[in-house]
Chain A
Amino acid sequence: DTGVSQNPRHKITKRGQNVTFRCDPISEHNRLYWYRQTLGQGPEFLTYFQNEAQLEKSRLLSDRFSAERPKGSFSTLEIQRTEQGDSAMYLCASSPGEQYFGPGTRLTVT
């Protein structure tokens, strides 16, 4: 399967811990996006890469959040000092045009 993959699928962490998620986009897609989805809402944009360049960041992305895409391939999203409000589904998408989403990483902060 050559779709977008995300790891881990689920993460449970204690408040204050750091977590890192990984996204592997479809190989020929140079654009990569991160979104966050909470219960009852649609995905909310977090950040966007074209190749290795981070071109846009949402105000939702506080200074505890950082995203990277070294070499323009896979991407990581790190959350430092997690808070209960960070509990959500974190979705990655890649595109040449229409955005194709991965299955997401569900984060639960206890």
Chain B
Amino acid sequence: DQQVKQNSPSLSVQEGRISILNCDYTNSMFDYFLWYKKYPAEGPTFLISISSIKDKNEDGRFTVFLNKSAKHLSLHIVPSQPGDSAVYFCAAGFSGGYNKLIFGAGTRLAVHP
């Protein structure tokens, strides 16, 4: 039972354009959502988070949008840079992330010049 789904295994974007990564979840009790970025041979790196009381959170080039009614969140990266090429994981949890996280399978983003 996959509670967090990332249906696009890969995404290719041209440098300077917007990258949009999507994530769907099934458990309406999740109240905290995060995006992690992972480079090969490294652990996941925290990128940005959003609480269920918000519908948008922004940090520099990264913006996360949350649509609770659709149980959907997305990560926008603009402008995309070659250094953004990595695997991006969506994760969901409870109570501000103090407990276990449920991860999606990841989306591999390739930003090409």
Contacts and interface: CB of A to CB of B under 8 A. Distances in A.
Contacts of B43: 4, 6, 91, 93, 101-104
A88 to B, nearest CB: 13
Contact of B104 (A42, A95, A100, A103): A42
Interface residues of B, number: 24
The size class of the interface chain A forms with chain B is 20 to 34
Contacts of A101: 36, 43-46
Contact of A43 (B6, B46, B99, B103): B103
Interface of B: 4, 6, 34, 36, 41-46, 49, 89, 91, 96-106
Given A43-B103, A97-B96, A101-B45, 13 more contacts: A6-B43, A41-B105, A41-B106, A42-B6, A42-B104, A44-B103, A58-B100, A95-B97, A97-B97, A98-B46, A99-B46, A102-B43, A104-B43
